[in-house]
Every structure is written in C-alpha cells, then in structure tokens.
C-alpha cells in the first residue's frame, strides 16, 4: 500500500494519481487536506492588515519561507491557487518533514503553507497565526494505492478496508 499526494514515475510528477486499466497502481482517494498560510505571531504583526486585504500576495512578499521541499511544492500550490503566481519570497529553511516545518515556523524562522490538521493545535495555543483566509482554501487529495493484480494479502486487505472506512468520517483534514 502506498499513501501519496504526489505521484512519480521516472522523473515525472502528476498532480493526480496515475490511472487507466494498464497502469500498475489502483488509487482510491481517502481525504482532502486543506492548506493554510501560517506564520509566527512576531512575523504576523509585521504584515499590514489593510495591505493583506487589498493586495494579499504583496503583503507577505518580504517574509521568509519555510518549505518541506526545495521545489516549494505546498507553498507553490498555495501561492498559485490563491495569488495566481509562484512565491517570490526568500527561502529561509527547507525541512523534509512537515512537523519540522511547523516547529521552524513556531520558532520564528518564517511563514509556510501547511495542512490544517497539523497547524490547528499551534493556532489554538497562539504559537502561530493564519496569515491569509481564503473562501476556498487549496486542497490536496490523499490517495491509498495498491498494485493491480497483486496476490491478495489478507492483512493488507483488512488494513485497506479499515483505512477506507475510517477515511469516510474524516471529511476535509
């Protein structure tokens, strides 16, 4: 079983799962995760609230970014979806783990776009602030994939069924 929101095959990346009867994987969507643009309270205070309302892409443009990949996959998706272009901000830190990105944001290293389920505790505790509110926040679909035609493994079948059943109650993450 594979969990993925980014699919790769010989250097190509798809924004949706590979499909078709001849593809080796069968992918089933489990849930959508919602992305929020967040920053530490100290940095959020430097963003002009009026400018954030009137020119939301320009207001945080000088703030450093904390990303989980050098290609800025989540940040790039957020910026393109919300502001119509890639971020122009300087990149302060790249950490290949979303929990590390959140910890760096909380410590004041910069701003980032992260899944709602991950940042909600920090927002509730005042360790982070949502910098931009969207009518329809960018989503990322999480898939469960299995190899087509693979011999049935009873344990994997149970795991797949339980995950699929549980995901039905997750809604948006």
User: In the CATH scheme, what is the code of domain 32-132?
Assistant: 3.40.190.10
For the beta carbon of residue 56, count every other beta carbon within 10 angstroms: 17
User: Residues 25, 144: contact at Cβ < 8 Å?
Assistant: no
Q: CA–CA separation, 1 vs 150, rounded Å?
A: 11
pLDDT, tens only, 17-47: 666 655 788 788 888 899 999 999 999 888 8
d(CA 112, CA 151): 42
Residues of the chain with CATH 3.40.190.10: 32-132
The model's pTM is: 0.77
What is the predicted pLDDT for the residue at 133? Answer: 87
- Residue 169 CA to residue 19 CA, distance in Å, equals 25
Residues 6+ apart with CB under 8 A from 129: 38, 39, 40, 41, 44, 123
129-141 CB burial, b ≥16 within 10 A, e <16:
bebbeeeebbbbe
35-81 pLDDT, tens per residue?
A: 999 999 999 888 887 887 788 788 888 899 999 999 999 999 999 99
């Amino acid at each position: 079983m594979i969990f993925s929101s980014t699919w790769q095959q010989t250097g190509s990346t798809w924004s949706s799962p590979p499909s078709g009867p001849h593809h080796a994987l069968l992918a089933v969507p489990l849930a959508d995760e919602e992305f929020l643009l967040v920053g530490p309270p100290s940095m959020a205070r430097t963003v002009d609230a009026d400018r954030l309302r009137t020119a939301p892409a320009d207001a945080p443009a000088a703030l450093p970014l904390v990303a989980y990949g050098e290609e800025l996959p989540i940040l790039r998706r957020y910026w393109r979806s919300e502001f119509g272009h890639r971020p122009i901000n300087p990149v302060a830190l790249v950490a290949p783990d979303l929990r590390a990105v959140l910890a760096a944001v909380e410590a004041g290293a910069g701003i980032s776009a992260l899944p709602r389920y991950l940042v909600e505790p920090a927002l509730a505790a005042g360790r982070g602030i949502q910098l931009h509110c969207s009518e329809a926040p960018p989503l990322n679909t999480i898939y469960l994939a299995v190899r087509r035609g693979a011999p049935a493994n009873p344990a994997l079948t149970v795991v797949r069924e339980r995950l699929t059943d549980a995901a039905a109650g997750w809604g948006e993450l």
